[in-house]
Amino acid sequence: MRHHTRAGPVRESGFSLLEVLVAFSILALSLGVLLQIFSSSVNASVRAEARVRAAMLAETRLNSVGIDIPLEPGETGGEDDDGRRWQVMIAEYFPEPPLEDSRFILLYVRVQVYWEDLGRDQIFQLDSLRLANRG
DSSP letters spanning 44-104: HHHHHHHHHHHHHHHHHHHHTBTTTB-SSSEEEEEE-TTS-EEEEEEEEE--SSPPS-TTE
pLDDT, tens digit (0-9, with 9 covering 90-100), for 60-96: 999 999 999 999 999 999 999 888 999 999 999 998 8
- What is the model's pLDDT at position 90? 97
| Alpha carbons 15 and 22: distance in angstroms, whole number | 11
Answer whether residue 51 shows pLDDT above 70. yes
Q: How many helices (H) and strands (E) does the chain have?
A: 1, 4
Answer whether residue 23 shows pLDDT above 70. yes
